[in-house]
């Protein structure tokens, strides 16, 4: 009897071994375990088989979408409830953004502004997310989120003035073009160092959480390249451990300048990192404005109840990285074409609007024309404006100007009195 039992045991064991060997399942079996461990660092069961986990151990995180490529809603239950006016406004802002990008990009080529970055292919992420937020929510952005600013109510004039750095630029002409910011619209001024805004956004979210009856959250945008920075790691971890009301929104557009995402990370994109940090996570089709809207609206509900969320919005960077980049040097033109035409977020939203009877060819022509005129007018005005007074160069370094800086300002003043003809003073405000 004992022998029989022993034999069965051996048979069972070899069967188990065989199943293990044949299995494509890469996670170790938890059966026959000794219960859950008491290690303070993790709540987990014991296993007695050696198996290393890798990027294939888990299924890829699926991509949430609402519309198909033709702007048709796939499952009517998922269609967000956005009123007509807002929908049209979102679409008009997309057109506005495209026209602004087109004209400012050209004007950089003509040397009228020093630098520019376009937003082609990512308009859906901008409008979808911005429309799902409250205007009181704080925005921390990277640099390719101009649609968010437009949707928030920043005017083309304000944006163009920044690119020219003229006397009406809210930033007083101190930063490179596209480094926008507006206190009035709760948009924290952008800076060039990548991912630095991420832990800052988490800190801001913590401050909001501590305000009485808080109903605000923070949204922080970043690219998949920036997510490789140490600050991204810091932000994910701080957001989760300190329970911050924040939405961390990654624009995964496949490239960081010339570096494809295959050279940026080995795992399942950025989204797969979310659960590992204890963040609520979703991956969404960034070319589907309605999907982004729904994902961010739901994320916002979680965030304001102090549950931090990571959203990875998949898209494709249709334009060059910036005016200092020629992307045909590192990627095929056919690839760009596919995303520019078949999977364009602008086209998808237009088809959706047309399907609802909210939009037609005539409205399109009219809207493009108006958008163009708005930008051209803003540029004509911006170009006529003087640059700020040179003294603004030394203001705002500190809240009050320290004596040493006052001295330096005086020194420059005396220098200019003597050598003014060597400086472009006529382009600058004079008092």
Residue list 111-150, contact with other proteins (CB under 8 A): 138, 140
Q: Is 216 or 294 the residue whose CB approaches other proteins more closely?
A: 216
Among 4, 210, 418, 422, binds other proteins (CB under 8 A): 210
Name residue, tokens 């729904």. Answer: 294
Residues 244, 209 contacting (CB under 8 angstroms): yes
**Partners of 246 in the beta sheet?**
218
Closest CA to 311 of 268, 267, 249, 251: 249
Residue list 237-296, contact with other proteins (CB under 8 A): 237-238, 241-242
Residues 201, 218 contacting (CB under 8 angstroms): yes
Residues 129, 293 contacting (CB under 8 angstroms): yes
The full DSSP string for 164-213 is: HT-TT-TTTT-S-TT---BTTTTEEPP-SSTTTHHHHHHHHHHHHHTSTT
Residues 100, 156 contacting (CB under 8 angstroms): yes
Is residue 235 involved in binding other proteins (CB under 8 A)? yes
Taking the complex as a whole, the smallest distance from the CB of residue 202 to other proteins amounts, in Å, to 6
- CB count within 10 Å of CB 232 equals 23
Q: Determine the Cα–Cα distance for residues 321 and 340; give it in Å rounded to an integer.
A: 15
Residue list 35-64, contact with other proteins (CB under 8 A): none
Residues 222, 232 contacting (CB under 8 angstroms): yes
Among 80, 121, 177, 203, binds other proteins (CB under 8 A): 203
Q: Determine the Cα–Cα distance for residues 98 and 104; give it in Å rounded to an integer.
A: 10
**Partners of 255 in the beta sheet?**
260
End-to-end Cα separation, the chain, in angstroms: 105
Taking the complex as a whole, the smallest distance from the CB of residue 41 to other proteins amounts, in Å, to 13
Q: Which two tokens stand for residue 26?
A: 């890469």
Q: Is 69 or 306 the residue whose CB approaches other proteins more closely?
A: 306
Taking the complex as a whole, the smallest distance from the CB of residue 174 to other proteins amounts, in Å, to 6
Q: What is the size of the binding site for other proteins (CB under 8 A)?
A: 49
Angle (deg, nearest 10), helices 84-109 and 345-356: 150
Residues 148-187, one symbol each (x = binds other proteins by CB under 8 A, - = not), give ---------------------xxxx-xx---x-xxx----
Is position 106 annotated as part of the catalytic site? Answer: yes
Is residue 335 involved in binding other proteins (CB under 8 A)? no
Among 91, 206, 222, 359, binds other proteins (CB under 8 A): 206
Is position 322 annotated as part of the catalytic site? Answer: yes
* Catalytic residue from among 37, 55, 57, 106: 106
Residue list 377-406, contact with other proteins (CB under 8 A): 395-400, 402-405
* Catalytic residue from among 321, 327, 343, 344: 321
Is 218 in a helix, a strand, or coil?
strand
199 Cβ neighbours under 8 A, 6+ residues apart: 231, 234, 235, 238
Q: Is 208 or 292 the residue whose CB approaches other proteins more closely?
A: 208
Is position 25 annotated as part of the catalytic site? Answer: no
Is 283 in a helix, a strand, or coil?
strand
Taking the complex as a whole, the smallest distance from the CB of residue 241 to other proteins amounts, in Å, to 6
* Catalytic residue from among 107, 322, 327, 344: 322
Among 205, 227, 284, 378, binds other proteins (CB under 8 A): 205
Binding part of the chain for other proteins, among 235-243, 258-266, 293-301, 326-334 by CB under 8 A, reads: 235-243
Q: Is 4 or 404 the residue whose CB approaches other proteins more closely?
A: 404
Among 233, 280, 385, 389, binds other proteins (CB under 8 A): 233
Binding part of the chain for other proteins, among 14-22, 68-76, 207-215, 288-296 by CB under 8 A, reads: 207-215
* Catalytic residue from among 37, 192, 324, 328: 192
How far apart, in Å, are the Cα atoms of 412 and each of 216, 221, 417, 429, 430?
45, 40, 9, 16, 14
What Rg value do the Cα atoms of the chain yield, rounded?
27
Is position 344 annotated as part of the catalytic site? Answer: no
Q: Determine the Cα–Cα distance for residues 164 and 270; give it in Å rounded to an integer.
A: 35
Is residue 199 involved in binding other proteins (CB under 8 A)? yes
Note the residues at the interface with other proteins (CB under 8 A): 138, 140, 169-172, 174-175, 179, 181-183, 188-189, 191, 193, 196, 198-208, 210, 218, 230-231, 233-235, 237-238, 241-242, 395-400, 402-405
Active site residues: 106, 192, 321-322
């Amino acid at each position: 009897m004992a022998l029989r039992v022993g034999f069965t045991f051996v048979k069972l064991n070899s069967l188990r071994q065989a199943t293990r060997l044949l299995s494509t399942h890469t996670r170790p079996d938890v059966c026959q375990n000794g219960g859950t461990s008491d290690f303070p660092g993790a709540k987990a069961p014991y296993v007695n088989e050696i198996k290393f986990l890798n990027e294939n151990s888990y299924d890829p995180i699926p991509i949430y979408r609402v519309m198909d490529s033709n702007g048709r809603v796939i499952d009517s239950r998922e269609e967000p409830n956005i009123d007509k006016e807002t929908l049209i406004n979102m679409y008009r802002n997309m057109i506005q953004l495209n026209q602004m990008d087109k004209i400012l990009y050209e004007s950089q080529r003509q040397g009228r502004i020093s630098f520019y970055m376009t937003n082609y292919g990512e308009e859906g992420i901008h409008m979808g997310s911005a429309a799902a937020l409250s205007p009181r929510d704080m925005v921390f952005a990277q640099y390719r989120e101009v649609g968010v600013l437009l949707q928030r109510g920043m005017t083309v004039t304000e944006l163009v003035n920044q690119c020219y750095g003229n006397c009406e630029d809210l930033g007083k002409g101190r930063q490179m073009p596209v480094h926008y910011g507006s206190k009035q619209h709760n948009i924290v001024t952008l800076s060039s160092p990548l991912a630095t805004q991420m832990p800052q956004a988490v800190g801001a979210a913590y401050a909001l959480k501590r305000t009485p009856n808080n109903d605000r959250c923070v949204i922080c945008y970043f690219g998949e390249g920036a997510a490789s920075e140490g600050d991204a790691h810091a932000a994910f971890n701080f957001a989760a451990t300190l329970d911050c009301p924040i939405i961390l929104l990654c624009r995964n557009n496949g490239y960081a300048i010339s570096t494809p995402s295959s050279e940026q990370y080995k795992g399942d994109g950025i989204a797969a990192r979310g659960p590992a940090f204890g963040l609520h996570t979703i991956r969404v089709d960034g070319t589907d404005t309605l999907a982004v809207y729904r994902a961010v609206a739901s994320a916002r509900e979680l965030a304001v109840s102090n549950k931090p969320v990571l959203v990875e919005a998949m898209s494709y960077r249709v334009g060059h990285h910036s005016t200092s980049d020629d992307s045909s040097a590192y990627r095929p033109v056919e690839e760009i074409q596919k995303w520019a035409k078949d999977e364009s977020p602008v086209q998808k939203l237009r088809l959706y609007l047309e399907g609802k009877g909210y939009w037609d060819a005539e409205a399109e022509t009219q809207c493009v024309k108006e958008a163009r005129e708005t930008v051209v007018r803003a540029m004509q005005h911006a170009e006529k404006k003087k640059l700020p007074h040179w003294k603004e160069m030394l203001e705002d370094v500190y809240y009050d100007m320290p004596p040493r800086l006052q001295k330096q300002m005086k020194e420059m003043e005396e220098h200019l009195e003597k050598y003014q003809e060597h400086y472009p003073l006529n382009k600058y405000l004079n008092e």
